């Protein structure tokens, strides 16, 4: 291989791991690399990260004690400084997180039938650029919660300078779209776990902005919360409910964004509008495919391929409150079921699998398979028909105390609203006598 060809090959490598291995293949390749190490590393970084490399690099270079964006290297200049080995590791690790978030964004807003990203290059560029910018915002302005003494810097000035570096209206809306997407992801976790992240409504300042606290964790923590179906990764930063470290007037990003919108005379985004749905995407999911069971269009559809995402959409609370007959009156069973479903280890995929393994083989579900796309309403009706049996089976499998004697009226019993009766007889069964008193 001549040197020019070796140089081209090095520049075309997709990531730093390949670069590290290839330069050790021969002395000649090693020498070729050492003639232009800076530009070869930059080319490989570009291959790995794409056009959002300046934003990715700026994030990787940010130091926690540099509060004021005025002192950060501008995006347009950040590429002029060679990329260090340590920065290579950071940008590779961050890119992995951003690409998983892109998969989730693509599934939830672009194409509900694919759980890996189908964003175009242009859409992906906007997504990454804005995600790295928000990540930098979170890293730079996340308060030192545990040292909060009520007087701690709220970074109003630096936050303002941050947005001044985003003069373009379109790119500002892209940034806000990312904040919105991460907010949705935190809400998903909240629904799946039964934890609440209070959000500031309007200008209400009477309660701490818990959603702001969650957002301050940044993309890495929010993705981890989603993957773990748990608030634990966030509480690793601090537990504001234990330490009182979140003052009532705390707001992380919402107030700063309102100020920017006001200062620039821009309207607040309506995320349901066509215009705002197209902030990052050129084409977004329109939900035109009909439900396999009821033929309705306009809703997100579910099949085995996206059951792992179901938990935040059809939360444990909803299932627990829709068990068959009068079981909804039975607090012992509904609370128990809700808490059981909220366990982070409880994956809806296995829960749904059981529903299909145990479905009625006659009637409307006879031909329904795991791969058929059904709307949430139909899915809930399907699950509710067997949910009490699944719950009884799970309690037995987990060694929880179950009542051995069935109530005659089964799930239709009205007396099960009383604790003593609910604790005495099993109601997770069909009635053997009609009309309960």
Q: Please, how many CA atoms are within 13 Å of residue 290, restricted to the half-sphere of its CB?
A: 5
In terms of CB distance, is 250 or 302 closer to Zn ion?
302
Question: Could you tell me the smallest distance in angstroms from the CB atom of residue 413 to Zn ion?
Answer: 3
Number of residues that bind Zn ion (CB under 5 A): 9
In terms of CB distance, is 134 or 319 closer to Zn ion?
319
The interface with Zn ion within residues 330-389 (CB under 5 A) comprises 375, 378
Question: Could you tell me the smallest distance in angstroms from the CB atom of residue 297 to Zn ion?
Answer: 10
Question: Could you tell me the smallest distance in angstroms from the CB atom of residue 293 to Zn ion?
Answer: 5
Question: Could you tell me the smallest distance in angstroms from the CB atom of residue 279 to Zn ion?
Answer: 30
The interface with Zn ion within residues 237-296 (CB under 5 A) comprises 291, 293-294
**In terms of Cα–Cα distance, which of 412, 409, 406, 408 is closest to 426?**
406
Bridge partner list, 302 = 374
Q: Mark the segment that binds Zn ion (CB under 5 A) among 93-101, 136-144, 213-221, 411-419.
A: 411-419
Chain position carrying tokens 């890495």: 220
Of the residues 407, 411, 426, 429, which one makes contact with Zn ion according to CB under 5 A = 407
Of the residues 211, 352, 413, 428, which one makes contact with Zn ion according to CB under 5 A = 413
Do 268 and 261 meet the contact criterion of CB atoms below 8 Å apart?
yes
- Taking CA atoms, 54 is separated from 15, 74, 127, 131, in Å, by 16, 9, 14, 12
In terms of CB distance, is 178 or 407 closer to Zn ion?
407
Question: Could you tell me the smallest distance in angstroms from the CB atom of residue 355 to Zn ion?
Answer: 15
In terms of CB distance, is 30 or 418 closer to Zn ion?
418
In terms of CB distance, is 204 or 294 closer to Zn ion?
294
DSSP H helices, 2-69, are 3-11, 16-22, 27-35, 37-49, 53-61
Burial class from Cβ neighbours inside 10 Å (0-12, 13-18, 19+) for residue 256 reads buried
Do 324 and 387 meet the contact criterion of CB atoms below 8 Å apart?
yes
Could you give the angle at the alpha carbon of 347 between the alpha carbons of 341 and 348, nearest 5°?
80
Q: Is 301 in the site for Zn ion (CB under 5 A)?
A: no
* Torsion of Cα atoms, 288 then 293 then 296 then 300, to 10°: -50
Question: Could you tell me the smallest distance in angstroms from the CB atom of residue 373 to Zn ion?
Answer: 9
Q: CA-CA distance, 417 to 120, in Å (whole number)?
A: 54
Q: CA-CA distance, 220 to 232, in Å (whole number)?
A: 13
Q: Mark the segment that binds Zn ion (CB under 5 A) among 86-94, 190-198, 281-289, 403-411.
A: 403-411
Question: Could you tell me the smallest distance in angstroms from the CB atom of residue 296 to Zn ion?
Answer: 5
Q: CA-CA distance, 138 to 160, in Å (whole number)?
A: 14
Question: Could you tell me the smallest distance in angstroms from the CB atom of residue 372 to Zn ion?
Answer: 10
Q: Mark the segment that binds Zn ion (CB under 5 A) among 72-80, 139-147, 160-168, 412-420.
A: 412-420
In terms of CB distance, is 221 or 291 closer to Zn ion?
291
Written as six digits, the tokens of 10 are 């090095």
What letter does residue 375 receive in the DSSP assignment? Answer: E
In terms of CB distance, is 253 or 301 closer to Zn ion?
301
Contacting positions for Zn ion (CB under 5 A): 291, 293-294, 375, 378, 407, 413, 415-416
């Amino acid at each position: 291989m001549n040197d020019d060809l070796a140089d081209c090959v090095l520049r075309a490598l997709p990531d730093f791991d390949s670069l590290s291995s290839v330069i050790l293949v021969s002395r000649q390749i090693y020498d070729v690399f050492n003639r232009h190490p800076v530009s070869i590393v930059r080319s490989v970084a570009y291959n790995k990260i794409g056009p959002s490399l300046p934003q990715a690099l700026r994030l990787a270079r940010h130091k926690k004690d540099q509060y004021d964006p005025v002192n950060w290297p501008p995006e347009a200049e950040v590429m002029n400084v060679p990329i260090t080995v340590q920065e290579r590791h950071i940008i590779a690790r961050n890119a992995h997180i951003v690409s998983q978030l892109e998969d989730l964004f693509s599934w939830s807003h672009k194409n509900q039938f694919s759980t890996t990203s189908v964003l175009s290059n242009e859409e992906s560029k906007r997504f990454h650029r804005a995600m790295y910018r928000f990540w930098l915002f979170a890293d730079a302005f996340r308060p030192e919660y545990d040292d909060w003494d009520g007087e701690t810097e709220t970074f109003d000035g630096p936050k303002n300078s941050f947005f001044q570096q985003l003069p373009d209206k379109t790119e500002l809306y892209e940034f806000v779209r990312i904040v919105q997407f991460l907010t949705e992801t935190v809400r998903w976790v909240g629904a799946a776990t039964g934890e609440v992240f209070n959000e500031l409504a309007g200008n209400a300042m009477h309660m701490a902005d818990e959603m702001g606290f969650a957002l301050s964790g940044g993309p890495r923590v929010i993705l981890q919360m989603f993957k773990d179906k748990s608030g634990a990764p966030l509480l690793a930063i601090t537990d504001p409910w234990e330490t009182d470290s979140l003052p009532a007037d705390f707001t992380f990003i919402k107030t700063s964004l309102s100020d920017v919108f006001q200062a620039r005379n821009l309207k607040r985004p309506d995320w349901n509008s066509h215009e705002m749905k197209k902030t990052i995407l050129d084409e977004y999911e329109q939900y035109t495919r009909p439900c396999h069971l009821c033929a309705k269009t306009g809703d997100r559809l579910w099949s085995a391929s996206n059951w792992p995402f179901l938990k935040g959409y059809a939360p444990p609370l909803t299932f627990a409150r829709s068990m068959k007959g009068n079981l909804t009156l039975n607090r012992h069973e509904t609370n128990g079921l809700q808490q059981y479903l909220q366990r982070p280890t409880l994956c809806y995929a296995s829960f749904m699998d059981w529903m299909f393994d145990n479905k009625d083989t006659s009637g409307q579900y006879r031909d329904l398979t795991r791969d058929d796309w059904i709307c949430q309403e139909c899915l809930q009706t399907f699950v509710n028909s067997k949910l009490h049996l699944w719950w009884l089976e799970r309690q037995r499998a987990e060694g929880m105390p179950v009542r051995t004697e069935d109530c005659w009226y089964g799930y239709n019993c009205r007396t099960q609203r009383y604790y003593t009766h609910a604790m005495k007889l099993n109601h997770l069964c069909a009635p053997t006598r009609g009309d309960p008193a």
